Amino acid sequence: MIQTPESPVKLEHEQAGINENTKKMLQQVKTVTVIGSGTMGNGICHVFAQSGFKVHMMDINQAAMDKAIVTIGKNMDRQVTKGTLTEATKAEALAHIATYTSLEEAVKDADLVVEAATENIDLKIKIFTDLDALCPERTILATNTSSISITRIASHTKRPGKVIGMHFMNPVPVMKLVEIINGYATDTAVTQLVYDLTGYLGKVPCVVNDYPGFISNRILMPLINEAILALQEGVAGVEEIDTIMKLGMAHPMGPLQLADFIGLDTCYSIMNVLHMGFGNQKYAPATLLANMVQAGFYGVKSGEGFYVHTPGSKDLIVSKRFQNKQWKL
């Protein structure tokens, strides 16, 4: 039997104490459609299903969704091993998820849609135009974009007040932050509902306004870009730059390693959004970053960026392209 927020999951939350806003949210949001089954999409499905929502995973590729379900199961297995999830709760959560290759079928009864497709403005505009035409009037349309204007996306719908950003962090089941981005026309009631929903998922919501890069990437990406510029100019090597930031500034991961993890193509795309959005040369992507992306060195997803990434290995090995240490005798 599919469990919804009206079933035992909700009762457990009520016993722990639940405010009136959250009760109201649970009456409005029961079915959530997630567009995309990649790393972010399957992670978002995971947290909604685990919280008792009916989840529709939508992708044009059924094989990709089948793989995503396996990934969700493996990630839940880790939670079972750690004692944060039971086998019974895992089975219930997986039963909440249904897959669809038809957008129309996936969204016809959705209360909330979370788009987690590739970070491409034209693709997102196409998706939101279609969503606006296919979704019920009540449906809130959220995007997991990390940099693209919510206002611009919303302008291609007839419901800009119901369009909002829900920027989850990777890996979604682990990371607590959700950056909630108001478009220029987003209704206050929608922001409140999404805020309460985020808290119900066990995440920490932070509300920001719609400017290029929002807060997370407006600060993070120039830091990463500056680290790449320092490497490009020969100030220090990959290992030295990352070690200084980890040991000196208490960052859990150095900026170059983080860039590989995010994807250098994604970093390049976001820097271009910042550069165009602000019209300020300080946001121009480093030439080294542009060259690596054009050559197909994207980091983890391609197997090599600033480091070499071997599937199944946790060893941090600097790419041979950056191993020259001229100061050594």
- Residue 77: strand, helix, or coil: helix
CA angle 104, 152, 287 (to 5 degrees): 110
List the alpha helices (DSSP H) in the chain: 8-16, 20-28, 39-50, 62-82, 87-95, 103-107, 121-134, 150-154, 188-200, 216-232, 238-243, 249, 255-262, 264-278, 287-294
CA dist., res. 142 & res. 219, Å (int): 23
Considering the candidates 46, 56, 167, 309, report the single residue annotated as catalytic: 167
Considering the candidates 92, 179, 239, 304, report the single residue annotated as catalytic: 179
Residue 255 in contact with residue 243, Cβ under 8 Å?
A: no
179 is catalytic: yes
42 is catalytic: no
Considering the candidates 217, 225, 269, 304, report the single residue annotated as catalytic: 217
209 is catalytic: no
CA dist., res. 293 & res. 121, Å (int): 19
Residue 29 in contact with residue 102, Cβ under 8 Å?
A: no
CA dist., res. 129 & res. 166, Å (int): 18
217 is catalytic: yes
CA dist., res. 316 & res. 311, Å (int): 12
CA dist., res. 179 & res. 324, Å (int): 39
Which tokens is 280 given?
């300020």
Considering the candidates 37, 146, 149, 269, report the single residue annotated as catalytic: 146
Question: What positions carry a catalytic annotation?
Answer: 146, 167, 179, 217
